[in-house]
Amino acid sequence: MAPARRALLLVLPGLLAAPALARALTGPFPLPAPARPGLRPLGGLVLDTSPWGFGGFSGLHLAPDLTLSAVSDRGRWWQARLRLDAEGRPRALEEVRHGPLRGANGQALAGRAGDAEALARLDQGGWLIAFERQHRIQHHPRLDAPGAAFPAPPGLAAAPDNGGLEALTQLADGRLLAIAESLAPGGESALRAAWLARLEAGRPRWTPAAYRPEPDMEPTGAAGLPDGGALVLERRYALFSGFRCRLARLPAAALAAEAPLLAGETLLSLPEDAPAENWEGVAAARHGGTTLVALISDDNERRAQRSLLLLYRLD
């Protein structure tokens, strides 16, 4: 989250209580059908973060066995098993585990060094975690294991302090997709820097791309889809209207182009299709013969916000 938005949350939390936020949500809750086709709502969960002592979820992964994995911009990792009912609706979280993210020296990351913003599971095993402020990517064999430096995309160091990698995922063909929050390629203010990379002996060969978000929005998360495409989550914040977000779908054909200019088709508009929140994490996985899509919000550890989990079936 950008420094200006963080300051406003500290000083004016009451102004964030837009109608969709002010309505109390408890336990599992239903979701309306989106205005556009493509996603079938299964339901949402309110996450009570008090037993864990942290929130701020900024990256999400969903495994085929319904294990959720997330990272927090407070330098923490978190995992839980999602329990569904007979109709596939989310009902509870089980087997919750969490702990500190660690650097190569095994020490827990804190402060600027612990601002984790994106999470990607590698098909050959292990995790990639992208960090802002101290722009970098770390490779972790397990989330509770120390992380080693992983080659970052060229030019990432030029990103604004709080505008680095927010989206990082592995695509179905094994390539990595990375998108920066506030780094404009070539000074083009309507675009955001993006990269694709093939892994060669475990090391990425990054090639430049560009991503076009909706006007006034910034990318906050990405998830590869089984068909070779991807989902990208975007967010906008305004003082009096609060958060607006969009979930866009990138087709596989667009990602196959050389140095592509990426622009997605809208699947969700929030708050029209779901509660208004600071949506920062998106994940997708095959389960039971269908593709599930999950979204998680970053509560910034503020009382006026919520940590919410949404679940959809991709048609």
3-state secondary structure at position 157 = helix
Residue 135 to residue 155: CA distance in whole angstroms: 10
Give the residue-averaged pLDDT of 209-235: 97
Count CA within 13 A, CB hemisphere, residue 87: 8
Q: How far is CA 147 from the centre of its chain?
A: 20
Tell me: pLDDT of 117 over 80: yes
Give the residue-averaged pLDDT of 271-293: 97
Tell me: pLDDT of 18 over 70: no
What are the residue ranges spanned by the domains of the chain? Answer: 3-314
CA angle 198, 204, 205 (to 5 degrees): 70
Q: What's the pLDDT tens digit per position in 225-276?
A: 999 999 999 999 998 889 999 999 999 999 998 889 999 999 999 999 999 9
This prediction has a pTM of 0.92
Residue 296 to residue 312: CA distance in whole angstroms: 12
Give the residue-averaged pLDDT of 280-301: 97
Instruction: Extract the tokens encoding 218.
Output: 């910034």
Residue 125 to residue 145: CA distance in whole angstroms: 13
Quote the pLDDT of residue 19.
Answer: 36
CATH topology of domain 3-314: Neuraminidase (2.120.10)
Q: How many CB atoms lie within 10 A of CB 153?
A: 28
Quote the pLDDT of residue 134.
Answer: 97
Give the residue-averaged pLDDT of 135-153: 98
Instruction: Extract the tokens encoding 216.
Output: 């006034």
Residue 5 to residue 231: CA distance in whole angstroms: 25
3-state secondary structure at position 54 = coil
3-state secondary structure at position 252 = helix
What percent of the chain stands above pLDDT 90? 86
User: Nearest CA to 270 among 31, 14, 70?
Assistant: 31
Give the residue-averaged pLDDT of 52-64: 96
Query: What type of residue is 314?
Result: L
Q: What's the pLDDT tens digit per position in 171-207?
A: 999 999 999 999 999 889 999 999 999 999 999 999 9
Quote the pLDDT of residue 22.
Answer: 33
Residue 180 to residue 69: CA distance in whole angstroms: 21
Residue 148 to residue 140: CA distance in whole angstroms: 7
Strand partners, 90: 84
3-state secondary structure at position 155 = coil
Residue 255 to residue 209: CA distance in whole angstroms: 9
Tell me: pLDDT of 303 over 90: no
Supply φ then ψ for residue 15, to 5 degrees: -70, -15
Give the residue-averaged pLDDT of 58-74: 97
Strand partners, 309: 45, 296
Quote the pLDDT of residue 11.
Answer: 37
Quote the pLDDT of residue 187.
Answer: 86
Q: How far is CA 6 from the centre of its chain?
A: 18
CA angle 217, 205, 198 (to 5 degrees): 80
Quote the pLDDT of residue 285.
Answer: 98
Quote the pLDDT of residue 15.
Answer: 35
User: Confidence class of residue 16 from pLDDT cuts 50, 70 and 90?
Assistant: very low
Q: Phi-psi category of 200—alpha, beta or left, where left has phi over 0 and alpha has psi -120 to 50?
A: beta
The mean pLDDT of the chain is: 92
Return the higher-pLDDT residue of 130 and 300.
130
